[in-house]
Structure 1
């Protein structure tokens, strides 16, 4: 679509994949770009999804307000659940659609675009309010409830089962770069070798573990899915891979962090960049990572002084901070010697 997107008069160009979510996203884009008044449906239409045919049917016949289905669409599940019908009708009134399905020649498409551009420039702007569907149904509602379904927001987080608890045993993941394979070895809780698997795709490897009954704990499965994906990425891109350590560019040095007693006193944090947790959320994550259910931490006292936890808990805390909160821990950071406040400032400052 690159040649088409550079043509005069073309605001945007792309591939429409589906007759439901794809069309909904296109409609939202058109609603945000009121200057767009023409649309050319071109290229090969998927014989399975028929997104192009469904889009043309939408602008020709509209949406059934009860079923939220595109009238006359032959595509796979042509349902519009997350757009408001009055907005759809306004777009149908504003945008002229040209059926150029099957046409891929940039020269021919350029001529179609210029003719469409001339027509929309000569036409008067559409009247506000949109038009009604051909069968006379009003377009002022969004179905019986009058509301568009929305997502229920969930918080990322939770705890993986501690390494000291024996559930499925544990796995060791490595790369065989000569064979270009990800290698997974499964051990029992007593270190007895149990299973070995090699593969190149994280998804197929995880599905193999699940179908064989090797992994039964959902938290462990989630961890392995992320870790196998990381290993697959490292194998494909030639990056170093170490289990439970974030991917890094080859040879990238870690930022040095001075011991607590050698640091200058840092100013109080008054602003946190968007996307980073605030101090309260950070303290909650630290309490969770150390397994201190219901406990509290003094933000100014080193962690090693406040709590007595085994080294594996510190490892799990580091994993939680990096994977759940997206914070990058310097490799020489001593968690035991840092107070929560100092740790927070080192990671977010």
Structure 2
């Protein structure tokens, strides 16, 4: 459920569950401060609770629309307001949804929202006219009611006594070395599109070009699962590569984009721009405060280059062209181009010669 407009004056939040078509008519109502969908009984509810907790003017919540019969996020949300959260297990009492556990929202916030906000259970109702009346009635009722615990101006201590929890993740950097396809797959794979049949086509060949396997499909996930089930792919890094390529092929098929294996997707007619052109665009563009710093320091960038080239243990000289420092084959350079564009955010011109570029040249293009 999105945070909505911070300037909104409405007192009501609307959760339309999986009914996206209700968002536009209901969010336009003057009594509605925020409106959004809800798909999961865990992370989705956590976001909803945090959003409402940070909007103290909200006094009512209408839950409407179609609930997912598989995940039952709406049932779990209603159960949270009615029965609360088990403080020890962090599980919503009485919830029947899939994994109704709230681990990263504070008990204090949950109890404040439950105490301040009146929930109207209108699950299954998808008629905007009916829901307009429900919203108007709830708004009038909450406007006439005295402040409840947790509302603006209420200073009582909330139940739970727990400071806000926020998820703490260990930061990982993308990248790494993929095992060569000839070793992991005993051959190579060619992925293409049959647009007339609206299918992705995957063909597996031996190194001597002898045909081995063929698969067609429309969904990247099901195709990758088929390859894994048949034992065609066993090496995790190559499974990741094929999953990424199949996902690109599926996107290209659905959106009518050109697809070339091992090259990033581009909009039709869009060519890569030079680093000079990118710097010029950044210099000409209006700024809003300080520029966003690069997520990589130069040493981290050099480490990413080493991983992308598969030459771990080598120390790169930032000012010397890559082709002068290293002897790497064309396949590794293709993989490096993918890392630079898709993981590090560079927009490489199609005629760039990576062998002649120094690491400092590439880092300068990244940081501007």
Do both proteins adopt the same fold according to a TM-score greater than 0.5, normalized to the shorter chain? Answer: yes
Instruction: For residues 152-211 of structure 1, give each alpha carbon's deviation from its aligned partner in whole angstroms, at most 9, with x where no partner exists.
Output: 433222111135645442201111111111111101233322111111111111111110
1:243 aligns with 2:265: no
Q: What's the secondary structure of 2:192's corresponding residue?
A: strand
Matched with 1:181 is 199
Q: State the partner residue of 1:318.
A: 337
CA distance, structure 2, for counterparts of residue 237 and residue 225 of structure 1: 18
CA distance in 2 between counterparts of 1:257 and 1:121 reads: 57
CA distance in 1, matches of 2:184, 2:48: 49
Decide which of 75, 97, 105 is 1:75's aligned counterpart.
97
Question: Matches of 1:256 and 1:59 in 2, distance apart?
Answer: 55
Aligned length: 328
- Alignment partners' CA distance in 1, 2:111 and 2:362: 54
List gaps (5 residues or longer) in structure 1: 133-138, 259-270
Q: Deviations over 1:238-258 (max 9, x none)?
A: 111110001111122332579
Matches within 5 A, 1:190-339: 190-256=208-274, 273-274=292-293, 276-339=295-358
For residues 332 and 257 of structure 1, the distance between their equivalents in structure 2, rounded to whole angstroms, comes to 12
Under a length normalisation based on structure 2, what TM-score does the superposition of the two structures give? 0.81
**Is contact 2:46-2:105 (8 Å) kept?**
yes
8 Å contact from structure 2 (residues 193, 201) kept in 1: yes
Could you tell me which of 141, 145, 155 is aligned with 1:128? Answer: 155
Q: Deviation per CA, 1:58-114, whole angstroms, max 9, x where unpaired?
A: 222211212222223333433222211111111111111122233322222222212
Unaligned runs of 5+ in 2: 1-21, 277-289
CA displacement 1:99-143 (0-9 Å, x = unmatched): 2233322222222212222232233433234554xxxxxx2248x
Tell me, yes or no, if the aligned pair for 1:41 and 1:100 is still in contact at 8 Å.
yes
Which residue pairs with 2:106 in the alignment? 84
- Mark the structure with the bigger radius of gyration: 1
Partner in structure 2 of residue 58 of structure 1: 80
Give the counterpart of 2:187 among 156, 159, 169.
Answer: 169
SS in 2 for 1:178: coil
Change (3 A) 1:31 1:301: same
Superposition RMSD in Å: 2.5
